[in-house]
């Protein structure tokens, strides 16, 4: 499912490399014997709102590095580092990253005349509990995650924004399927800083039809994500989508929120040119 990372654009390459090094030193010799790894390069194309809540869309294209390492107790992916308490434990603790793309200044929509949005990235822990399941049935998890978000300005200057939390239910097809599917659903909650970054209107940029607005923290909508992938020779392919519903969100009065529902759809391809001897 490496190609699916494109649906969570903006992962920090440096952080991922650090997680990879940490993961390599965290495993023991016995786990290493049963481990496998894969590495390569990916390209994602997706159609998404010009900014969260926008009624206009943009086509984004992002190259990204892909790597994956898995042992009985450790799973290292370019988006997360996840460990189990024991080989057959249903509980896993992780540390992950995600982000959002930039929105250029001067966009002819509700943000016209406002500064552009810098790309952001977020880091933080998560926990997942696998529920009992029968062989040949879909696998099911309950999870929760927390993230702290930064905006990346010129010269890689980092500006802290705020935090977010989410709870989710995730389901996957059984291992070994030729077309594995992942579906995730749950609510999102964000701090005043994060909601304000995307939906606030400073007084200096208030105009007719776009009054000044300070977005409070709180409920930030429901998120439904799905992805299906497969591989052909050295290439992995994926199609993914993410639906977001803002009904009842804390910032529904924002003049920047032009729609109550948004959808991101895209595809990705990964060229896997590095893999372990045991098949990866």
pLDDT tens-digit profile of 21-39? 444 344 343 444 568 889 9
**3-17, 71-85, 253-267 — which one is most confidently predicted on average?**
253-267
User: Which two three-digit tokens encode residue 41?
Assistant: 């390069």
pLDDT of residue 27: 38
pLDDT of residue 280: 57
pLDDT band of residue 182 (cuts 50, 70, 90) is: very high
pLDDT of residue 70: 86
Mean pLDDT of 82-109: 79
H/E run at residue 229: strand 218-232
Give CA–CA dist 71/68, Å, rounded: 10
The answer to whether 86 and 74 are in contact (CB under 8 A) is no
**Residues whose CB is less than 8 angstroms from the CB of residue 170 and which lie 6 or more positions away in sequence, other chains included:** 128, 140, 141, 143, 182, 183, 184, 185
Give CA–CA dist 79/2, Å, rounded: 9
- Asked whether residue 136 carries a pLDDT value surpassing 60, the answer given is yes
Q: pTM of the predicted model, to two decimals?
A: 0.81
The answer to whether 99 and 117 are in contact (CB under 8 A) is no
Mean pLDDT of 103-109: 69
The CA-atom distances, in angstroms, between 90 and each of 27, 35, 93, 132, 141 are 19, 19, 10, 9, 9
List alpha helices for the chain, DSSP H: 13-26, 29-33, 192-199
pLDDT of residue 87: 67
């Amino acid at each position: 499912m490496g190609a699916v990372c494109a649906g969570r654009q903006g992962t920090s390459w440096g952080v991922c490399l650090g997680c990879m090094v940490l993961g390599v030193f965290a495993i023991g010799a016995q786990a290493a014997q049963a481990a496998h790894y894969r590495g390569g390069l990916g390209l994602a194309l997706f159609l998404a709102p010009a900014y969260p809540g926008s009624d206009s869309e943009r086509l984004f294209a992002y190259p990204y590095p892909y790597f994956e390492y898995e042992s009985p107790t450790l799973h290292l992916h370019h988006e997360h580092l996840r460990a189990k308490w024991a080989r057959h434990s249903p509980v896993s603790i992780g540390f992950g990253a995600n982000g959002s793309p930039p929105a250029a200044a001067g966009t002819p929509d509700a943000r016209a005349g406002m500064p552009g949005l810098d790309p952001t990235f977020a880091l933080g822990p998560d926990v997942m509990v696998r529920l009992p399941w029968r062989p040949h049935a879909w696998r099911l998890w309950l999870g929760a995650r927390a993230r702290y978000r930064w905006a990346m300005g010129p010269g890689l200057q980092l500006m802290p924004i705020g935090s977010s939390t989410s709870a989710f239910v995730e389901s996957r097809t059984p291992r070994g399927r030729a077309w594995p599917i992942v579906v995730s659903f749950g609510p999102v909650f964000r701090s005043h800083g994060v909601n304000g970054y995307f939906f606030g209107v400073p007084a200096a940029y208030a105009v007719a039809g776009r009054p000044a607005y300070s977005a409070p923290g709180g409920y930030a909508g429901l998120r439904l994500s799905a992805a299906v992938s497969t591989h052909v020779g050295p290439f992995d392919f994926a199609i993914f989508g993410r639906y977001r519903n803002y009904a009842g969100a804390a910032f529904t009065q924002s003049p920047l929120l032009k729609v109550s529902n948004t959808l991101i759809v895209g595809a990705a391809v990964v060229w896997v040119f590095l893999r372990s001897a045991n098949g990866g």
